[in-house]
Structure 1
Amino acid sequence: MLREKSFLFKLTLAGFIVISALGIGWISISWYFLSAAGDAVKIGNLSDQALIDMLQMRKAEKNFLLRDVLNADFFVEGSNSPSIQLHKKHLTDLQTQIAALQRLLPEEQRVEIDRLKQEVDVYTSDFNELVNSYRRLGLPAVEALPLSERVALAREIGASVESMEPVLNVTLRPYARDLARSSQRDLFIAQISILVIGVIAGGYFFHKLGSMLLRPLSVMAGNAEAIARGDLTQPDLVETSDEIGQLATAFNRMARSLRTLLSESKVLTGEVDAASGEIAVGAQQQLTSLNETASSLNEITATAEEFKATMQEFADRARAVQEAAVETSRRASEGRMLTQDSAARIEQVRTNSQSAGESVLDLSDQMQRIGEITATVNEVAEQTKLLALNASIEAARAGENGRGFAVVATQVRELANQSKQSAVRIESLISATQKSMEAVVSRIREGGRLSESSAEIVRRVSDAFEEIVEAIEQTTEAMKQINAGARQQEQGVTELVASISQIDAASKQSVAAAETTQNSILGIEQRIQALNASSSRFQL
């Protein structure tokens, strides 16, 4: 039942028991010695009162012997004088005091009181005998006795009583005083002894009680120290239902919760460690893929830059061809005007025809170069289509991040197709122009050989110039289209380069983000390993 009480109740009960025992002992010892001190006081008072009664009795005795014995009333049958009555009263009181002293005094001191009682009895007997003897003598005989004889007789009777005074003054009063002092001293010593014994006994009792009550705390302290060292296998110890028992129960619940938490933590850290390892492998693969993509983008960027430079050169050459065609058209117009001005100036016409033939030959060479440029444009368009195809493939590999790049690659492929179609048309126009040039050259040569028939030649040359002007106009128009296509192609390539640059920048950011992710995963793995190391030192 005591184990079910609270810790405060146990301490209160223990304190009450100790204080009660100490109080009972204190009161008992105090009562004993105070009783002894009271007896000493009573002995002193009784001794004083006995001495007073003895003196009063002696005084009454003297009054009787000196005064009442000469009174006639004394001799009347059945009467007593006032002195005898007073003497009897004090004698009775004295006997009462002696009887009380016999009860209070110890055995060694009772001898004197017994002797005193015997002397009082002898005195009483002698005094009564004296009173009776005086009555028998009668008043005349008593009056005849001398005063000195009566005084001597009183002294003889009171001799035994006077021996009681030393017993009362010398023996009993010092004894009472010593007994009172001894009782006080013994009371003080006993109280101090009780206090010391009570303190020692209380300390021992509280030590045992504290050891009993605080033993669960010691056990909990040992368990806590073991848990601090990593040993969570300590058994649950709950012996009481008081506050310490409640603390032990809470401590046991905490230890069980800690064991459960550490077990779950080990499982979770193992799962997180495995997952982080897989994530790290995936991040490494992603980083490798991003690095490869970045390298491919660098190559694509370099190729696009080269293609851009080629397209710029192509546009410049197309512009030069257009300017040459305009110049040729102007010269052909002038030749036609010269042939129409004067047939007489055939020589001049022939010379001009030769010049025109040379110009046509130069134009043929330029057309040949235009054909070569057109072939180059065609090859560039084919390469552009291949690059756009490769860019689409890489964009498909890049997934969501390469969607914009795929759109740009598709546009580049369309521009390449347009460039190829324009190049085919230019080749066909150049072929027609070259054929026209060949015809002009043939006619000019024929005009040179047939200078006699200059009119016919001039007419034919005029017709030829008409055809040349028309062909050159067509060539000029075609060159305008080629120039516009080249400019459009150049603009598309510029946009392609810008898009590739943006994709390259995004790829670099992705690489940096992947490296950061990989570093974070490595940090997580290190922390998980440290957590596993910390958890492994606990025994579950």
Structure 2
Amino acid sequence: MKFKQKILMISLIPLLLSACIIGYNIIQLTALKSSTEEIVDALVKVEELNSAAKSLQKSLSAYSLNISESNKNDIDSDLSNMKSLHDSLSPSVTNKEQQVISQQLFHKYEEIFTETNKALSAQNIAEIKRQSLRTKGMQNDVIELKRSITSEYLMMQEDLQTKINGIISISIILVAFLLIGSILATFFFTNRIVHPIKQITKNAEEIAKGNLAVRLASVTTRDEIAALQNSFEQMTVNLRDVITHVSDSSNQVAASAEELMASADETMKGTELISSSIQLVSDGADQQTFMSDESARSAEESSNAVTQIAKQANAVMELSVSTNEKTKQGAEFVQETVSQMQSISTSVDETDKALIILNDRSKEIVHVLKLITDIAEQTNLLALNAAIEAARAGEAGKGFAVVADEVRKLSEQTRNSVSSISGIASEIELDTEKTVASINDVKERVNAGLEIARHTEETFHDILVSVELVKEQVSNITKVSNDINDQMVQVSTHAQEMSNVAKITADSSNSVAAASEEQLASMEEVTAAAVSLANLAEELQQRISKFTV
């Protein structure tokens, strides 16, 4: 799983779970509201039916006192109103007791309707009064129906309260699990991200101190951090090989320099011997011939020694070239490491942006919760207005006042639940900000590792410069050795001529002495070059001694 995918998973899962919890609460509250509205509507219709029955009684009484067309129209209107109210109430009557009461009420209504129409047609005042009294029976049935529906409403309210408590309990439990799970998941994934980076930083600091013997812990992930650690481990192995080869090469250069100085000393001794032989030439031809043979032999040995020096210088040159290539490879690996560190820095920046987006989403959730709170407050205000209107209605509005009070309590509970969820959303926002701070710390550590890798690249550049200097000095040594070899061939030729022609040798002694002095000066130059090569080898050893392989 990629680094960016881990961060997105940490961010999106808590948001999705929070949205599910909020959706669950909204669905449950909507269902409870629907069931409450049905029974409240039934109570309102029963109250209207009771008012219509009372109005019918008043209209009948008024007609019995004053027979008029307007009073008759009032009676017809009240009878029609009761019929329509009863028809609209019938679908809301659910249990058997209420259905029986409703049938009794309708039966009484039909009788009153029939008898009243007959009495109105005959203008029978006595019958009108009797029917007015019979409306009391309808009112009793309405009151009984109201009592049954109110009892059902109270039972529903108890069940509603139980369901609301259950919703609140489930919400609290789910939110607690969500909070704990989010914290644990954030801690787990953050530790999985930060721990390898800290380990890489620690190892980079050790390498910067010169300790190349560090060993990296194995990584089982397949993200960018694992790629960085694998590249870092490969760089360490290659760097260790380069330092080992450079150390071996510098040791060989030092040994070759010592051998070169020894050969130069031997050559100088041979040259001094040739000078002594030239001084003895004037003492006699025999002695001159003997010394000429000795000079030829010494010249041959010197020539062999110079040839050996040239071969060793060539070997040192090859080692210098190999060391140069290894150093360049090490520099390339360091450059790859710098590139990988820069890639990690880019990934961390993208993660930082994703967390900022998550923080914005958390703020949007808080805004939605505020909107729900506003709706709950408006519902509470509507319930308060309904209670006031019910109080104005007097006895007829008591049942509706109870309903309004329950609606107000429900809105307050909704507001409290939303407040709790809002607090949790704020905690999620705070955790997101902490994660952003942790990512910023990771960015600082990645930048520190990048700086260390760049310092290592500079160190390799210094090593490369030193190797180039060694290569140049060895090239000079090779050139000087070839010059010495040519001179030794000339010395050998002169010695042979001195052995064959003694007289010519005596005449040429001054020339040979001059050549010996030139050879001695050349050997001093060889000795100085050998000392310089030894010093360079020692300096290279000091540079690589700070690395622990």
TM-score tier (shorter): 0.3 to 0.5
> With CA pairs under 8 Å and 6+ residues apart, which has the higher RCO, 1 or 2?
2
TM-score, length-scaled by structure 1: 0.46
Query: Which protein is bigger by CA-based radius of gyration?
Result: 1
